[in-house]
Each structure stands twice: as C-alpha cells, then as structure tokens.
C-alpha cells in the first residue's frame, strides 16, 4: 500500500471547528526519493523502495553510493520498502506529503522508547504485593509467586517477569490526518505515536 517515511517532530494540540480540543502529533513526512522499483517478474514481488533524510557522503559505503547514483539522488539515511503502491512509481521520482489529505486514516509504525531493565510494576502494570504486615517491609513491588514448587519445578515460558522494556516496533492503526502543511512537509495526526522525538516512522495509507 502507498506510504511515506517520516520523522517524529513532537506533540501539539489544536481546536476543531466546533471547539473540541484535539491532542496531535507532528510528523515531518518526506520528501522521499524512489531508489528502487521491484517487479514480480524480476524480484518475485512488487514493491517500491523509498529513501529519506540526507546523509553525508563520507559516511556512506561505496555499494550504497552506487545504489543512490542509479536513482540520481544524494545518499540518504533511511530506506523502507512499500508493497502494492497505488500508483506506478519510477526510479528517482519524489514522493511528498501530498500523498495524504485531511480526513484520511493512516497507520503509523515506529520504534518505542527504550526503558532498559524494568520491574514488573512498570513493565506489566502489576499492583505489587499489598501491605507491610507480618514483617514484610521490602516486597511492595515484587511479582509474587512464579508457580508451583513440586510440579513442574520450573518457571513456564512467557511468564510476565522483569526484563528489558521498550525498543519494540509498534504500529498505531487508524489515526486521522487532521492537517497537511505541504510547503513544510508536515503531517498533523490525531493522537500519539510510538517513538522519541526525532525518530523515524513509517506512514501507510
């Protein structure tokens, strides 16, 4: 499906025509350059590869320099493939935020903020073991029992426990496009999306 690569700028809020307060996310969407067009005959599937955000040439490998030269463009930081693009795209063609219009519904995928190693209260929303009675004084945020002892004498896979949190690919679906500012390549979307400020996101129609 048709899409574009963007960068999360941050959050803001606007008021609708009827005075309703709407929290929004501002995304810098494109412009992206078509750096490769894959076909069913040659590659086994059809897709369009887009590239976004300038990159210094000295930080680009020779192989990638050649790849970008074929598309007659400068080196780029982020490359993403989109399957089943609505319209036929040619090598070197530029895809802009004009792909979207106010009122469209989109899916936005990004990498969530990494939180490092976290306990079960933050990671899974556990309530903690209640009270400090019967000598208990340091177990308020503990997970409690992990299972029986005599059988199976082990902890089952998938048990919700402490561990690395965040840094996952998260897709938020059916977000409404509130406003498109074409001259600044900005897309204002209703609601929040995953990722820190400045992180790359993939936007699909």
Where in the sequence is the domain holding 106, given as residue range(s)? Answer: 3-114+168-204
Site of tokens 């936007």? 203
Could you tell me if residue 138 is inside a domain?
no
Q: Give the residue, 140 or 63, on which the prediction is more confident.
A: 63
Q: What is the CATH number of the domain that holds 23?
A: 2.40.30.10
Q: What percent of the chain has pLDDT over 70?
A: 98
Tell whether the model's pLDDT for residue 22 goes beyond 80. yes
Q: Give the residue, 1 or 170, on which the prediction is more confident.
A: 170
- Could you tell me the pLDDT band of residue 148, with boundaries at 50, 70 and 90? confident
> For residue 202, what pLDDT is reported?
95
pLDDT in tens, 41-79: 998 988 999 999 899 999 999 999 999 999 989 999 999
Instruction: Retrieve residue 145's tokens.
Output: 């029992």
Could you tell me if residue 57 is inside a domain?
yes
Instruction: Retrieve residue 111's tokens.
Output: 């990498």
Site of tokens 């501002």? 26
Could you tell me if residue 53 is inside a domain?
yes
- Could you tell me the pLDDT band of residue 131, with boundaries at 50, 70 and 90? low
How many angstroms separate the CA atoms of 94 and 78, rounded? 15
Could you tell me if residue 15 is inside a domain?
yes
Tell whether the model's pLDDT for residue 136 goes beyond 80. no
> Strand, helix or coil at 152?
coil
Domain tally, the chain? 1
Could you tell me if residue 132 is inside a domain?
no
- Could you tell me the pLDDT band of residue 130, with boundaries at 50, 70 and 90? low
How many angstroms separate the CA atoms of 193 and 42, rounded? 36
How many angstroms separate the CA atoms of 86 and 116, rounded? 40
What's the pTM value of the predicted model, to 2 decimals? Answer: 0.83
Within 10 Å of residue 95's Cβ, how many Cβ atoms?
A: 23
How many angstroms separate the CA atoms of 128 and 139, rounded? 8
Could you tell me if residue 44 is inside a domain?
yes
- Compute the CA torsion angle 99, 104, 107, 113 (nearest 10 deg): 90
pLDDT in tens, 162-205: 999 999 999 999 999 999 999 999 999 999 999 999 999 999 98
The answer to whether 128 and 83 have CB atoms below 8 angstroms apart is: no
Could you tell me if residue 66 is inside a domain?
yes
Mean pLDDT for the chain overall:
90
Q: Give the residue, 106 or 145, on which the prediction is more confident.
A: 106
How many alpha carbons lie under 13 Å from residue 122 in its C-beta half-sphere?
11
Report cis status (omega within 30 of 0) of the bond before 31. Answer: yes
Could you tell me if residue 133 is inside a domain?
no
């Amino acid at each position: 499906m048709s899409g574009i690569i963007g960068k999360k700028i941050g959050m803001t809020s606007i008021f609708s025509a009827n005075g309703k307060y709407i929290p929004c996310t501002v995304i810098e969407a494109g412009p992206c350059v078509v750096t490769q067009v894959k076909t069913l005959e040659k590659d086994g599937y059809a897709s369009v590869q887009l590239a976004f955000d300038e990159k210094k040439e000295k930080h680009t490998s020779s192989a990638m320099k050649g790849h970008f030269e074929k598309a007659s463009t400068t080196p780029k930081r982020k490359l993403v493939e989109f399957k089943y693009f609505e319209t036929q795209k040619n090598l070197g063609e530029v895809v802009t935020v004009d792909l979207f219009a106010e009122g469209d519904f989109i899916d936005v995928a990004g990498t969530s903020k990494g939180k490092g190693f976290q306990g079960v209260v933050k990671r899974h929303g556990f309530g903690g073991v209640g009270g400090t009675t019967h000598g208990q004084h340091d177990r308020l945020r503990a997970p409690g029992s992990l299972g029986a002892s005599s059988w199976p004498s082990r902890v089952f896979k998938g048990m919700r426990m402490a561990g690395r949190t965040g840094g996952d690919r998260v897709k938020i679906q059916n977000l409404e496009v509130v406003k498109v500012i074409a001259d600044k390549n900005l897309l204002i979307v209703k609601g929040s999306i995953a990722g820190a400020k400045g992180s790359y996101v993939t936007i699909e129609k």
